Amino acid sequence: MNPGDVLRLGHEALVLAVETVGAVVIVVGAFWAALRFVVEGLRHRGAAAFTTIRLSLGRFLVLGLEFQLAADILRTAFSPTFTQIGQLAAVAAIRTALNYVLGHEIRQEQRQVAEEGDPR
């Protein structure tokens, strides 16, 4: 095995590790939010009780998407083709837009929670 193959395998392992971390963050966040949704649903009937759950889920999604974008950047960093660069640009634009929208939603929900106080 030549040094280029070792480097390529290390690169692929790094990309896989970062992708896995992003996926785990999203899955853990979704599981946590679903669990909290059930618990809060049994305690409270109003929609205001779920605002903090949505905020937390949004934070998990944003963090997970950041890891996924990092994996895409790492994947393209190793001898990229123009096609890969174009795909990265498209994926980065979509994920950046999604992160912007999620961040906006999180800020809006935080203002709402601050104005109304914690529903619990």
Burial class of residue 3 in the structure, from the number of CB atoms within 10 Å of its CB (0-12 exposed, 13-18 middle, 19+ buried)? exposed
Give the mean pLDDT per block of 10 residues along the chain (120 residues): 84 94 97 92 74 86 90 82 84 83 82 68
pLDDT in tens, 52-80: 888 889 889 989 988 998 998 888 887 67
Give kind and range of the element (H or E) at residue 91: helix 82-116
Q: Does the global pTM surpass 0.85?
A: no
Rounded CA-CA distance 41/76 in Å is 44
